[in-house]
C-alpha cells in the first residue's frame, strides 16, 4: 500500500492549514440530556436482540461502529472474520456479498471500524487493517475494487489510530462540495475523526462544513460540525435534535416519521425523510433505534461538559 501511494505529498492544498479550535457550547442542553437517556434505554432494548448492532442490513458495520463510538460498548469484531478482514454486518447473518451487495466490505464500513477502534482505544484493530491493506495491495476484500480499495486518507487515518509511522497519516481527506447523500455523510464523519485525531479541524475545510449545515439545516450532524469547528452557534443543533417531526419525545422514531433507519445519511428532502409508503399507502410501522440522533446528542453533551 505504501508503494502504491508513496508519491503523494505530505500536505495537499488548503487542508494543511492552521487547526481550528473546538468552540464551546453556550445553549441549554438539559432537554437533550433527558431525551438521550430515554433514547439510549429504548434503543438498547432493540439492539440487544442483534448482539448490539443497529440493524440487520448490509450497511450495519458503519452504523454500529458510529453508534458504539458514542453510545454503548459493542463488540464490533462480530463483523470481522480474520485480522483486518471486515464484513458489512455481523457474521451470524448471511453474507451480503455476493447477492445483496457488490462487495464484502466497503470504505464506509471501514470508517465505522475506524471510529470504533479510536473511541475504544483498539490500536490493534487499526493496525490489523493497515497490515491487511499492505498485504493485499490496498484491496480490503472481494467484490468491486471501486468499493473495496482503501484510499490514502482512510489508510492514513487507520495508521494514525494505530500509532504507526506512515506518510499517509498526513494525506488530507478529499472533499469537493459536490457530495450528496451518503457520500456527504461519510466525508463529514471522516473529517470529524481526523479533527479528533489531530487536535482540531484544518482551516481548509471550514467552507465545506458551513455549506453542509446551510444546505441541510434539519440534519443535526452537519449543524453540530459547523457549530463545533466554524460558527460556535449550537442553536441549530438543538433545534434539529428537538424536531418532533422526526424525533418524538415519548418514543423512538419509526418508519411513520422517516423511511430509513439512519436519517443523517440521506439527502434532506428525499423520500427517505418522509413516512414509508407501500403502493401509496402508509407502510407497516417499523421502530428505529434512533442511533443517529443519539450519537449527535452525545457529542453535543460531551462538548458541553454535561453528564
What's the CA gap between 122 and 127, in Å, rounded?
Answer: 9
The DSSP symbol for 2 reads T
User: Residues in the chain, how many?
Assistant: 307
Question: At 70, is the pLDDT very low, low, confident or very high (cuts 50, 70, 90)?
Answer: confident
Tens-place pLDDT, residues 248-276: 999 999 999 999 999 999 999 999 999 99
CATH annotation of 13-304? 1.50.10
C-alpha cell at 180: 450528496
pTM of the model: 0.93
What integer pLDDT is reported at residue 73 of this predicted model?
81
Tens-place pLDDT, residues 100-136: 999 999 999 999 999 999 999 999 999 999 999 999 9
What integer pLDDT is reported at residue 78 of this predicted model?
98
Is the dihedral angle over the CA atoms 75, 155, 96, 82 positive or is it negative? negative
Amino acid at each position: 500500500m505504501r508503494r502504491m501511494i508513496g508519491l503523494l505529498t505530505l500536505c495537499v492544498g488548503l487542508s494543511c492549514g492552521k487547526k481550528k479550535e473546538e468552540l464551546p457550547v453556550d445553549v441549554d442542553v438539559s432537554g437533550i440530556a433527558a431525551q438521550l437517556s430515554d433514547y439510549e434505554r429504548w434503543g438498547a432494548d432493540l439492539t440487544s436482540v442483534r448482539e448490539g448492532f443497529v440493524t440487520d442490513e448490509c450497511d450495519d458495520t458503519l452504523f454500529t461502529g458510529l453508534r458504539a463510538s458514542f453510545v454503548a460498548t459493542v463488540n464490533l469484531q462480530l463483523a470481522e472474520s480474520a485480522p483486518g478482514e471486515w464484513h458489512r454486518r455481523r457474521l451470524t447473518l448471511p453474507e451480503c456479498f455476493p447477492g445483496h451487495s457488490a462487495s464484502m466490505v466497503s470504505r464506509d464500513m471501514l470508517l465505522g471500524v475506524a471510529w470504533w477502534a479510536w473511541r475504544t482505544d483498539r490500536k490493534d484493530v487499526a493496525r490489523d487493517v493497515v497490515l491487511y491493506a499492505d498485504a493485499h495491495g490496498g484491496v480490503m476484500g472481494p467484490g468491486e475494487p471501486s468499493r473495496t480499495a482503501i484510499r490514502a486518507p482512510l489508510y492514513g487515518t487507520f495508521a494514525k489510530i494505530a500509532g504507526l509511522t506512515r506518510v499517509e497519516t498526513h494525506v488530507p481527506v478529499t472533499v469537493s462540495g459536490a457530495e450528496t447523500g451518503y457520500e456527504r455523510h461519510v466525508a463529514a464523519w471522516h473529517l470529524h475523526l481526523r479533527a479528533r485525531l489531530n487536535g482540531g479541524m484544518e482551516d481548509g475545510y471550514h467552507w465545506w462544513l458551513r455549506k453542509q449545515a446551510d444546505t441541510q439545516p434539519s440534519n443535526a450532524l452537519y449543524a453540530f460540525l459547523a457549530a463545533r469547528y466554524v460558527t460556535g452557534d449550537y442553536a441549530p443543533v438543538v433545534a434539529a435534535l428537538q424536531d418532533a417531526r422526526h424525533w418524538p419525545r415519548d418514543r423512538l422514531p419509526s418508519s411513520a416519521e422517516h423511511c430509513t433507519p439512519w436519517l443523517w445519511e440521506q439527502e434532506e428532502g428525499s423520500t427517505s425523510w418522509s413516512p414509508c409508503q407501500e403502493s401509496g399507502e402508509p407502510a407497516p410501522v417499523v421502530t428505529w433505534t434512533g442511533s443517529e440522533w443519539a450519537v449527535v446528542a452525545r457529542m453535543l453533551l460531551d462538548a458541553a461538559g454535561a453528564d
